[in-house]
Amino acid sequence: MTTTDMTSRQVGAGAGPSEAETVPPRKGTVRRRLRQRPAAVTSAVVLLVLALLALGAPLLAALEGQDPTTYHDDLIDSARGGVPLGSYGGISADHWLGVEPGTGRDLFARLLYGARVSLLIALGATAVQVLIGVVVGLAAGLGNRLADQVISRFTEVLTALPMLVIAVSLTAIVPADFPRPLLLVLVLGLLGWFGMSRIVRARTLALRKLDHVAAARLGGSGPLRVARRELLPSLAAPVITYATVLVPGNIVAEASLSFLGIGVRPPTASWGQMLSTATTWFRADPVYVLLPAGFLLVAVLAFTVLGDAVRTALDPRERSRLRVGTRAGRKRRKGGTDRSAGATRERHEKRQEDENRGNREKEAVV
């Protein structure tokens, strides 16, 4: 079972929601809960910085005076197979993070443009997965028994297929002139919506039993109106929660496909494509390996931590977990520990009193 499947079961698990649980939390409340968690704030700041770097890639590259596609043959040592001249991969005032081995292209500019491509592919694929998953899940949850069975069995069959093999096959047979970032968005989106559809279907089946949804259906509202006005507001929390889990998975999937050589192709830069060419240089130029791998690790970790925080903030049954790692949480845990120790001591004293009373009764009988 993959991490995504486990998360989808956690998000969609539990008994049917009550009327109070279907009311979406207010934005101010969610923001306050997120601010109470330092890890969530740090992750949000890191992602904001990465987004600004990706959006400002042309400006920052122009500020450095470089671009991601120009070759600099004079900055590599052809006698050593293309290793950059100078220390730490050729870092200098003109090339802030050095140059790429074998080509001499500026590494700082390629990392910025690679962040653009990797993040856009991940977010685009997540949007496709959310759209398809919500539509299919609502169709299964609001349809009759036959429609639900057909859609559910179809989804289960697709879930059992080896998606990596299918993705490799699809990206390999598409013509070379087709835009690779768009192709990756479509492939990852069309092959990754199954968990979202299961979550939406499970929540829809529980929500349709509530009074306001049943009243809307009995009042003559069609499935589209019921879904738009009665269900989607209550489905926002699990959908957003699971979407935050899909983003880091899509970042890793894009990097994996590019690493295999069937994703983003040169001269377009992405973190996965840079890692695919860095495998032959990890001994001669370890900086070229560490930089894209570090950016990839930081992005995935930040999205994962923020997604967990968002899940905790939006799910009413998980509110207490927001205080883990905070001063209020430590006080609450300390108070809970003290109460637990006091209760244990009281039970022990009561047991001791019962034993003493029994001993006195036995002595009186004798």
Q: What is the 3-state secondary structure (H, E, C) of 9-59?
A: HHHHCCCCCCCCCCCCCCHHHHHHHHHCCHHHHHHHHHHHHHHHHHHCHHH
φ, ψ at 172 (rounded to 5°):
-85, -30
Asked whether the bond before 233 is cis by omega within 30 degrees of 0, the reply is no
Confidence band for 158, pLDDT divided at 50, 70 and 90: confident
DSSP state of 106: B
Confidence band for 125, pLDDT divided at 50, 70 and 90: very high
- Kindly tell me the sign of the dihedral angle through the C-alpha atoms of 138, 141, 146, 149: positive
- pLDDT, the chain, mean: 80
Residue 240: per-residue pLDDT: 87
pLDDT at 63 exceeding the cut of 60:
yes
pLDDT at 24 exceeding the cut of 60:
no
60-65 mean pLDDT:
92
Q: How many CB atoms lie within 10 A of CB 111?
A: 24
Q: Which of 42-56, 200-214, 233-247, 312-326 has the lowest mean pLDDT?
A: 312-326
Q: Which of 1-15, 85-99, 116-130 has the lowest mean pLDDT?
A: 1-15
Q: Which residue has the higher pLDDT, 190 or 17?
A: 190
SS3 76: strand
Residue 321: per-residue pLDDT: 41
Q: Which residue has the higher pLDDT, 153 or 233?
A: 153
